[in-house]
Amino acid sequence: MGFHHKLENAWRSTASMLCVGLDPDPTRMPAPLRGAPDAIAQFCIAIIDATAATACAFKPQIAYFASQGAEAQLEQVCAHIRDAHPGHVLILDAKRGDIGPTAEHYAREAFVRYGADAVTVNPYLGTDSVEPFLRHEGKGTIILCRTSNRGGDDFQSLMVDGQPLYTHVAHRVAAEWSRMGECALVVGATYPAEVGVVRDIVGDLPLLVPGVGAQGGEVDATVRAGRRTDGWGLIINSSRAILYAGDGEDFAQQAATVAAATRDEIRAVPPG
């Protein structure tokens, strides 16, 4: 089953467009897990199992694991998602971008070592840096387009031939790269107007939308701007607001409560 097909099934089977981001910060680990040698894996797996009923996807951020020498625990977390929740989409948030031969190794890391369904990719080295990801049949390449951070304006909003640079990225993905492989784009919820601009350019391609929750993105405006005409089309990510909802023995249950509330807020946006 390819990335797009699996995502379509995940939206409908879970009745959710929520993605739970897995960013295990050692300084914010719940009290019951502090000092445990495999705390990262325990934490993430508990969050995954508690929120699976209300999420369509999980997105581990590789830097939070790699900085702690916890790549083996990331492998364990990814294996758990694939085995225990096989209908959910596994997105490796790596934001890779390098020349062709190196990009192929990054693609193998994401798709072979970690078994991800999709990986985030930086497009600014051009087509030959993205093509190795696109060549992996059935896997998703999620291209950074209009990111949720304020510094994204430094380059993404620069005018090029009368249009912001991020729209040129969206046009390239829609017209060229999506013909080479299964694509999606990253567009931040902190810029809902731009979400709408990208949706108009790329048609029905999926949009991964970070920035709700701790970053302050507005769910209502984002959903209205970015959903497809059938009501789907978005992977709306929330990380810290869900992960760190609780600090005690019930941290996973607290996370589940926030995840359910976020899912319900997304679903409550009326049509039109």
* Amino acid 239: pLDDT: 95
Spatial CB neighbours of 105, under 8 Å, sequence gap ≥ 6: none
Which one of 6, 59, 95, 139 is the catalytic residue?
A: 95
* Amino acid 215: pLDDT: 61
C-alpha–C-alpha distance, residues 203 and 171, integer Å = 10
Neighbours of 125 (CB within 10 A): 16
Please indicate whether residue 95 is annotated as part of the active site.
Answer: yes
pLDDT in tens, 46-65: 999 999 999 999 999 999 99
Sequence ranges of the domains in the chain? 3-267
pLDDT in tens, 148-206: 888 988 999 999 999 999 999 999 999 999 999 999 999 998 889 999 999 999 999 99
- pLDDT confidence bin for 213, thresholds 50/70/90: low
Residue with tokens 């209205």: 224
Residue with tokens 């291209």: 143
- pLDDT confidence bin for 113, thresholds 50/70/90: very high
214 has pLDDT over 70 = no
At residue 238, φ and ψ (nearest 5 deg) are: -135, 130
pTM of the model: 0.97
The CATH homologous superfamily for domain 3-267 is Aldolase class I (3.20.20.70)
- pLDDT confidence bin for 100, thresholds 50/70/90: confident
